[in-house]
Amino acid sequence: MSKALTIAEDLEGVVKYKPYKGTFGIEIETESLDSYHEPICLNWKVKEDHSLRNFGREYILNKPCTFEGVDKVLKEFDTVTKEAGIKFIEDRMSTSVHVHVNMQNETFLTLGNFVVIFTFFEDILIDFCGDKRRSNMFCLTTRYAEGIYRRLQKFFEGLDTGSYNPVLQLNEDTAKYSALNIVPLKTLGSVEIRTMRGITDIDKIKQWIGIINSMLQASKMPGLTPRIVLDYFQKEPGMFFDLVFGEYADLLRKPDLFERTEKSLWYVGSIVGEIDWFNLPGKVRAKTEEVIQKQKEQEAEHLKMMAAKMKPGGVAPNNVFVQNPDWFNMNNAVPQEIQEVGEF
């Protein structure tokens, strides 16, 4: 069996990603008690963020890192900010930690698995991230904005037809502030998780990225599809929870786990729909190549027709651009009656 195409390979010729090997991008929004000079960081860029208050700045990882590299870059952030004497204000309503997950090297099937796993457990995940994020307008969940699941549903249904339009039509104006934001897939090849509250506690941030990584690794299990995820959850929710979150399960577990996640069943079922998930990788590429081949055939047929009509005695169609005309033998290309009219 041939290897399934990655998202970057599926969209080759449609979008051009800057290739990244790392998996996680991190953005830490901060506010502070006092103004300060931006510290010099090796792995982070620091920029003013005018959507924030109190000397607001955002620390953005220069490039995605592996899960194994998360500890190193977070320690650098912690060291340079503490050495600079910055007094951050924690857990502000206006600040948050955003984590990008690089999907360029994953498949659309893995993305589908990740989306439905996140949607199943988003209420439990919000508990870990902070109750202020539950109905926050900058990280809306499906329960607070049902348009989110409809957009996800249409996105995957479109991909199932082989169309790349669902990716090209991703729009910040309608989906940017979803808890799981897929809009960056269009430009960066990533999805953004916006649920973590504004903290600078690197141990907590690392735990959160570990939880996200556990969902990503579960999404890549051989043979897993969103429909199987749905079936797993309906039959063995506790077992599936432990399977997904592994060492982080006890951090997230709640006595009413099943009741709270059961509320997501309808949203997940709507996203899963009737999509041919197992064969989703490669559909866009195959359809794109089919369209390109058809266009080439039509162009060849058009040029053939042009050549026939441009022979002496033929008449050229109006408003037709002739590719690579022979400017030194134009008399042979122009119909005789036009040549005669044009002579002085």
* Mean pLDDT of the region 63-90: 96
Q: Which residue has the higher pLDDT, 120 or 341?
A: 120
For the cut 70, the answer to whether the pLDDT of residue 26 exceeds it is: yes
* Mean pLDDT of the region 288-297: 68
In the chain, where are the structural domains located? Answer: 7-283, 284-342
Report the percent of the chain where pLDDT is more than 90: 55
- Own/partner contacts of 12-19, CB < 8 Å, gap of 24 or more, are 12/285, 13/288, 13/292, 14/164, 14/167, 14/168, 14/284, 14/288, 15/164, 15/167, 15/168, 15/186, 15/187, 15/189, 17/104, 17/187, 17/188, 17/189, 18/188, 19/104
Give per-residue pLDDT as tens, 215-265. Answer: 999 999 999 999 999 998 888 888 999 999 999 999 999 888 888 888 888
For the cut 70, the answer to whether the pLDDT of residue 174 exceeds it is: no
Smallest CA-to-CA distance from 84 within 125, 32, 10 is with 32
Q: How many CB atoms lie within 10 A of CB 121?
A: 24
Give per-residue pLDDT as tens, 93-106. Answer: 888 999 999 999 99
* pLDDT for position 312: 60
* pLDDT for position 314: 54
Which range has the top average pLDDT, 89-98, 168-177, 239-248, 289-298? Answer: 239-248
* Mean pLDDT of the region 81-103: 93
* pLDDT for position 137: 58
Inter-residue contact 132 to 281 (CB < 8 Å):
no
**Which amino acid would we find at residue 53?**
R
* pLDDT for position 307: 73
**Which amino acid would we find at residue 106?**
E
* Mean pLDDT of the region 142-148: 74
CB burial of residue 338 (10 Å; 0-12, 13-18, 19+): exposed
Looking at domain 7-283, its CATH architecture is 2-Layer Sandwich (3.30)
